[in-house]
Structures are given as C-alpha cells and as structure tokens.
Amino acid sequence: MWKRFRKIEISSRQWIIVITIVSLTLMAVSIFTDAIRNPIRQGVSVVVVPMQKGINTIGTYVYSRVEMIANLKNVTEENKELKEKVAQLTEENSLLNQNQIELQRLRELYALDDQYASYEKTAARVIAKESGNWYYVFTIDKGSEDGLEVNMNVIADGGLVGIITEVGPNYAIVRSIIDDNNNVSGMLINSGDTCTVEGSLSLMDDGYVYVKYLNSSVEVKDGDRVVTSNISSKYVEGILIGYIKDVTMDSNNLTKSGYLVPVVDFEHLQEVLIILDQKEIEE
C-alpha cells in the first residue's frame, strides 16, 4: 500500500502549476470576501503576535539605551536651553491660564462640551509594521479582547494617526493617514470649511500629506489648523490632523489645494491611543 503510494511522485513543475492555479483562485476570491483569509490570519496571529511583541520589547529597550548614551552629549546644552524655555513658558502659562478661565466661561455660556477630552480612550503599543516599503500600515498589541473594533480612530501626540481596518483577538491593524490609500474628511478649525486630507507615498519623505478640495472662496494661510470634520462618516469630530502649508488655487479655479503638516511624528510612533467611541453612521 505504502509502496504504491510512494510511486506517485509529483514533479516540481506540476507543483508550481497547482500552486499557481490555487493562488490565482484565492486572489480572485479575496477581491470579494475575506472568508478564506480570516482563519489563516487568526492562526498566524496566535504564533506571530507574541513573538513580535517580545522582539519589540527587547528592541525598544536596546534602542532607548543606545539613544541615551548618544544623547548624553547634547543633554547639558539642552538643559541650559530648556531652563530658559521654562522661564518663558511659565510666563506664557500664566497668560494661558487667564485665557483658559475666559474660555471656560465662554464654553459655559455656549453650553459647549469639551468633546475631545470626553472621548473614552485606551492605549496600545505599536508592535509591527507592514512588510514592504509601500504602505504605512502597522499592527498594535490590542484587539477585540480589549474592546477594539474596526473603524475606531487612533490618535497620538494629540493628533490623528489613522483608523483601525482589521481586528483580531490580540491585535489590530491600523492604516495611518499618511498611507497612500487613505482619505480623511477634514475641516478648517477657524471657518468650518471642509476639505479632504489625502495621504501620499511621495510626500512622506517631506512629512506632508495633501489637502484638497477646499472651496475657492476660503481664506487660508500657513499654519491654519485642520481637524476631522463633522460630516466624516468614520472619524469622530474635532481631532486635530495638522497644519496647513502652501495652499494654492487649482487650475480649475473652483477649488484650492495644498499640503498639510501632520501633528503626529510617524517616524517615531511607539504608543498610540485608540478612541473607543465610534461615530454613529446611519446606513
């Protein structure tokens, strides 16, 4: 029996043909549904995610040590600068305090709630990034067991990082706003005019993203703040995205476009906050 079984020798050429057909079928199926990928993903994540976490913990430790030694030289100089800055900031702070009181008063007056602070958040650590160089997608170490869901917004440094696209039991995948596939509906904080914030691979080096489709009548200047808009279907309102830079009139004379400097430092992203409140969408 065994001998007869052994006689069937599949050559490498036959193997490659079989695999080509199978994977082409899988590709075709995966355009329509994730049903095949999900079980595989779950199996892989059980093995891989703990390992990634471990490597990452060691890596972060070593990195911080190396960084510490390298920084020691600059520290003294920096300390001096910082002391001056502290003095300056203390002064500014007292001024801001006064403004804050005024703001508080005005808020009460308008019965405005400080929404940004009222969102419920949870922290997570970035443990892995996309395997190629093309997309800015990363994995965080919390998942559905921690109450995360698809379409939850991710923030860091007080600015928008991205959105959760997939969730597993112990991990979630986040697509950042600088990814080439990403669009966010934003609005200017001073005027409420809406625009679209578009990630771009070619602008990533300069640290910008595109801002497009501003109405031609809108007055903007460099440094204007853009937040997530009230009409966005997936992003909760009022999260700071970045600052406007170099907006010019488009050739169609109907819209304006330019660049946006994101608040978040995507280069050194280690910890992120996930907003657990989701925008309710009517379907």
Partner 1 sequence: MKRKICIILLTICFYCLQTTLCKSIAIADISPNIMLVIPICFGFFKGSKEGIFAGVVGGILMDAFYTSIFGFSVLFLAWIGYMAGTFTKEYNQERIIIPLLITLVSTFSYDFLIYVGGFLLYNRLNMLYYLGRIIIPGTMYTCAMMILLYRPMHYLDRLFDPRDRRKVTDYVSRN
As a whole number of angstroms, the distance between CA 34 and CA 19 comes to 20
Q: Which CA distances in Å does 66 have to 59, 69, 72, 277?
A: 11, 5, 10, 38
Residue placing its CB nearer to partner 1 in the complex, 69 or 111: 69
- Cβ–Cβ < 8 Å for 163, 174: yes
Instruction: Give me the least distance between CB of 153 and partner 1, in Å please.
Output: 20
Asked if residue 56 binds partner 1 (CB under 8 A), the reply is yes
Q: How many CB atoms lie within 10 A of CB 53?
A: 17
Instruction: Among 173, 211, 220, 247, indicate the residue that binds partner 1 (CB under 8 A).
Output: 173
- CB of 58 or CB of 95, closer to partner 1: 58
**Residue among 218, 217, 205 at smallest CA distance from 244:** 218
3-state DSSP assignment of residue 156: strand
Residue placing its CB nearer to partner 1 in the complex, 45 or 278: 45
Residue 135 interacting with partner 1 (CB under 8 A)? yes
Q: For residue 245, state whether it binds partner 1 (rule: CB under 8 A).
A: no
3-state helix, strand, coil in the chain (%, to 5): 40, 25, 35
Q: Which is nearer to partner 1, 77 or 205 (CB)?
A: 205
What does the binding site for partner 1 look like in residue numbers (CB under 8 A)?
A: 11-13, 15-16, 19-20, 22-27, 29-31, 34, 36-37, 40-41, 44-45, 47-48, 51-52, 55-56, 59, 63, 127-135, 137, 139, 166, 173, 180, 201-202, 204-205
